[in-house]
Amino acid sequence: MRFTQEQQDFAVAVRELCDSECKTLQQRDALTEGGTVANSSALLEKFAGLGWLAVSLPEEYGGGGAGMVEECIFLEETARGLAPIIAYSTGLTAAQTYLRYGTEEQKRTIVGNMASGRLEAIALSEPGAGSDLGGVRIKAELVDDHYVINGQKTWISAAHVAEHILLLARTDASGNKHQGLTLFMVPADSPGLEIHGIETMEARTCNDLYFTDVAVPASAVVGTPNQAWRHLMRGLSVERLIIATMALGGAQRSLDDVIAFVTEREQFGHKISSFQAIRHRIADLATEIAFAKSFVYDVAERIDAGQEDNLNREGSMAKLKCTEIAKKTALEAMQMMGGYGYTREYGMEEQVRRSLAPPIYGGTNEIQREIISKSLGL
């Protein structure tokens, strides 16, 4: 696709702000308490003040009223700029479900929060239910006019910084495993809800959630009771595209950084960019990234054209390809940078760590391959 002048100007503006706020390691450390937190409230507030958050969400609920193309531009450029706002994408994913199935009040609350820099989370996985969400066991029992929730969720991104948790729970165990599931909008500060961080290779992102007699009103249901599986299976192309676009931005940053390194670094009396082995590896990476970008924005444009429900295969393809190329580019770049690629100072080790989880979360890439193969009649 060809970007409009306005879209090009938007991309430049986001890139320039990221360069001014978080280009160096020292700047990012200042925003993230020395790299110990994954989200900067100060940076989120700055983006919100410029009207860049929730840019694709409906204007009637407080969003920017633009399209998925503009949202992808923002996601790509902030990922490329290493902006510490990773939880924004989690909230954006949750917002898609609220907008499809939520009440008017839920929509206004969620979109308003996103646009102002407050964050949201979504809780699907459990210790025994990751790729197989039909295995969800956490229970929500209807008692008079409210639900009582008991059980555990795990690997829940952004729960510790979220306003609400979009929770998948079992409300009826009488049918098959895909029946009797319901979505709830649960305040993150609900009595009886404990949120414990999971230590990983990155700053705190994931959490274990423990629900002990957590009570929510019947109005907290998102969509139709016992129909959550149907709700979750629709519109997945947007969620997968969000992950793909951030991975695309990360891949481009790794490519930019390794090009900058090899054109300065000398070995055997020559810039290492003069060696054919290096040039050809970079050429291959640049080609893959360019093709991935073209595909991502084609899917985004088709979503804006109203084809979202017919793009599940393409959404899976985008998520699969972009997350794999982001991981490949970061690892190749680290190798080409030698020992410098392993240091914090040069930033590539951060890119490697960032690239390892996306092929796992949001539906593992093995699951994406299953979706793609089944859509081909296999």
- Read off the pLDDT of each residue in 155-169 and give the average, rounded to a whole number: 97
**Which domains does the chain show, CATH number per domain?**
5-118 (1.10.540.10), 122-226 (2.40.110.10), 229-376 (1.20.140.10)
| pLDDT of the residue at 110 | 98
| pLDDT of the residue at 133 | 82
pLDDT interval class at 217 (50, 70, 90): very high
- Read off the pLDDT of each residue in 65-88 and give the average, rounded to a whole number: 97
Q: Is 171 helix (H, G, I), strand (E, B) or coil?
A: coil
Q: Which of the residues 239, 308, 324, 350 is marked catalytic? A: 239
pTM value is 0.95
Q: Which long-range contacts (CB under 8 A, 24 or more apart) does 282-289 make?
A: 282/255, 282/258, 282/336, 285/251, 285/255, 285/325, 285/328, 285/329, 285/332, 285/333, 286/255, 288/325, 288/328, 288/329, 289/248, 289/251, 289/252, 289/255, 289/325, 289/329
Active site residue 239: yes
pLDDT digits (tens, 9 = 90+) for 225-278: 999 998 987 767 898 999 999 999 999 999 999 999 999 998 898 999 999 999
Q: Indicate if the pLDDT at residue 1 is higher than 80.
A: no
| pLDDT of the residue at 155 | 96
Q: Is 360 helix (H, G, I), strand (E, B) or coil?
A: coil
Residue 5: which residues within 8 A CB-CB, separation 6 or more?
A: none
Average pLDDT over all residues of the chain = 95
Determine the distance from the C-alpha atom of residue 377 to the mean position of all C-alpha atoms in its chain, rounded to a whole number.
29
Q: Indicate if the pLDDT at residue 223 is higher than 80.
A: yes
| pLDDT of the residue at 293 | 98
Question: Between β-strands 162-170 and 119-123, what pairing exists: parallel, antiparallel or unpaired?
Answer: parallel
pLDDT digits (tens, 9 = 90+) for 281-310: 999 999 999 999 999 999 999 999 999 989
- Read off the pLDDT of each residue in 177-194 and give the average, rounded to a whole number: 96
